[in-house]
Amino acid sequence: MELKVLGCHGGETAQHRTTSFLVDGRLALDAGATTAMLTLEEQMALDAVVVSHAHLDHVRDLASLADNRCQGAARPLVIAGTAATIRALKDHFFNNVLWPDFTNIPLVGGGGATVELKVLEPEVAQEVAGYSLKAVLVSHTIESAGIVVSRDGAALAFSGDTGPTERFWEVLKETPGLRAVLQEVSFPNELEWLAKVSGHHTPSTLERELLKFTRKDIPWLMFHIKPSCQAKVERELSKLHEDRLELLSLGDEFVL
Ligand SMILES: [Zn+2]
Ligand SMILES: [Zn+2]
């Protein structure tokens, strides 16, 4: 699998983009920068977007992506997520108020609706766009899922937004072919109270997660640092002296 970083921050500035990753040019994990960072042609090449949860920094570009694809894509875009996430997209996003309901707007060139929504049952592997996706509920302020993406014997795990959690790590211990974990960290240690009420990690709470999943051969690719806290969080992460941690930058590419 080829992984590309489209957005890896917990906020946006001219130099920062919100959460979005691209797998093999076909599957997006979250849509925080899916149109901001992809050409029209690349947007048309997508088969599916799997969404960890409904917060705007993870779904925002679904609006412009659906709009662009309506006029140019040859097939519907599948948007997959757990039940509460799909419900929130129906009720609050593609609701004909905030944005048109693209599940009822046909592709201009034919081929079906612009968007198809697909519910992922937690901890049941489901096939989407040629990948096996397994959602695992994590710990955030609203329903949020980590996602395990598998194909051809290789797997990639994506934590979504989460604070300290248990089940995600148990599932990863049983995941064959795991190559990397995309793991969130958001605030510096001095803002642990804010991380706690908002369902996020600090380097200090992350240190305890590292003890729950101890395989040394799996890199943890870190995303979701708040732009205003970047330098402090990076300093605190380096003080953990943990070789597994790798900070992501926009445009980074990995072959897993
Ligand atoms: Zn969130
Ligand atoms: Zn977020």
| CA 123 to chain CA centroid, nearest Å | 17
No. of helices (H) and no. of strands (E), the chain: 8, 14
Tokens 């997660």 correspond to 209
CA of 83 to the centre of ligand 2 (A): 18
Q: Which residues have a Cβ under 8 Å from the Cβ of 109 and sit 6 or more positions away?
A: 72, 73, 74
Closest C-alpha among 200, 112, 107, 118 to residue 159 = 200
10-residue stretch averages of pLDDT, the chain, 256 residues long: 98 98 98 98 98 98 98 97 98 98 97 98 98 98 98 98 98 98 98 98 98 97 98 98 98 97
CA of 234 to the centre of ligand 2 (A): 18
Q: Delimit the domains of the chain by residue range.
A: 2-253
Ligand approaching nearest to the C-alpha of 141: 1
Total residues belonging to the chain: 256
CA of 188 to the centre of ligand 2 (A): 16
CA of 110 to the centre of ligand 2 (A): 34
pLDDT of residue 222: 98
Closest C-alpha among 56, 43, 57 to residue 93 = 56
CA of 153 to the centre of ligand 2 (A): 29
pLDDT of residue 130: 97
CA of 170 to the centre of ligand 1 (A): 22
Q: For the full predicted model, state whether its pTM sits above 0.75.
A: yes
pLDDT of residue 137: 98
Is the separation of the CB atoms in 46 and 16 below 8 Å?
no
Instruction: List, in sequence order, every residue forming a beta bridge with 35; answer none if it has no partner.
Output: none
Q: Which residues have a Cβ under 8 Å from the Cβ of 39 and sit 6 or more positions away?
A: none
Q: Give the pairing type, strands 20-23 and 27-29.
A: antiparallel
Closest C-alpha among 127, 180, 161 to residue 19 = 161
Ligand approaching nearest to the C-alpha of 143: 1
pLDDT of residue 3: 98
Ligand approaching nearest to the C-alpha of 144: 1
Instruction: Give me the architecture of the 2-253 domain, per CATH.
Output: 4-Layer Sandwich (3.60)
How far apart CA 31 and CA 77 sit, in angstroms, is 12
Ligand approaching nearest to the C-alpha of 226: 2
